[in-house]
Amino acid sequence: MQTTDNTIFITGGTSGIGRGLAEAFHKLGNKVIIAGRRKKLLDEVAAANPGIEGIELDIADPADIDRVAARLIRDYPSLNVLINNAGIMPFDDAGGRIDDTQSRSIIDTNLLGPIRLTSALIEHLKRQPRATIIHNTSVLAYVPLASTAVYSAAKAALHSYALSQRFQLRNTNVTVQEIAPPWVDTDLIRKSGDPRAMPLDIFIEKTMAGLATDAEEVIVDEIRALRDNPGSGEHAFVHGFNESVVANPIPV
């Protein structure tokens, strides 16, 4: 994508990867609008980065998505980049009883939220001279973490959706890119300084470099082997991956 001269809307832009991307694009001179549920956090990011604007949005609420989409189209007619970044990552146990309320929240936020928001903005994006949709999935879309089974499944579904959407938009001016982060040291789980987690600044630097290309997927080299998880051998691969996590638990 072209990383300058854009008007960009980023969901989940008050912390972690979302804030990192917002600030990186802002530094390049783009107009950046961030979304989040808490006005206080939106105001804090805007105050730290004069020029960034914030909009309250509950990405799990279809009516709120429609409200915000209408406001974006009205107030930011040059909007041409949508970054679907908002997400939640509760732990669960697929070997036991799954909490239905939690599962619905994960799916509404991580899968249906991006689908609904993209759908609400897609005709506007098609009218722009150039436009880009960026979906933030996860390396867990390819190699599920068993202790976050619903989250991993939702990210796998969003990856599949991005593949279909890219094909459907092949003859338009809208491109679709996907970023699939590794474990990044943010508050998505709990910021802990664990050496297995990639520092946020390094992840943002590498991801911005990847987004500046025509790459359909932006994958940092550190997780290339996980992205290339072999088809017929994936059962043993996934089992081994999760055994290693059990042996060295993720701090929660």
Q: Which two tokens mark 86?
A: 């908002």
Given 76, 142, 151, 161, the catalytic residue: 151
> Which residues, including other chains, have CB under 8 Å from residue 7's CB and lie 6 or more apart?
30, 31, 33, 76, 78, 79, 80, 81
Q: Is 161 a catalytic residue?
A: no
Q: Give the C-alpha separation, 250 to 252, whole Å.
A: 6
- C-alpha radius of gyration, the chain, whole number: 18
Are the C-beta atoms of residues 210 and 188 closer than 8 Å to each other? no
H or E segment to which residue 35 belongs: strand 31-36
Residues designated as active site: 151
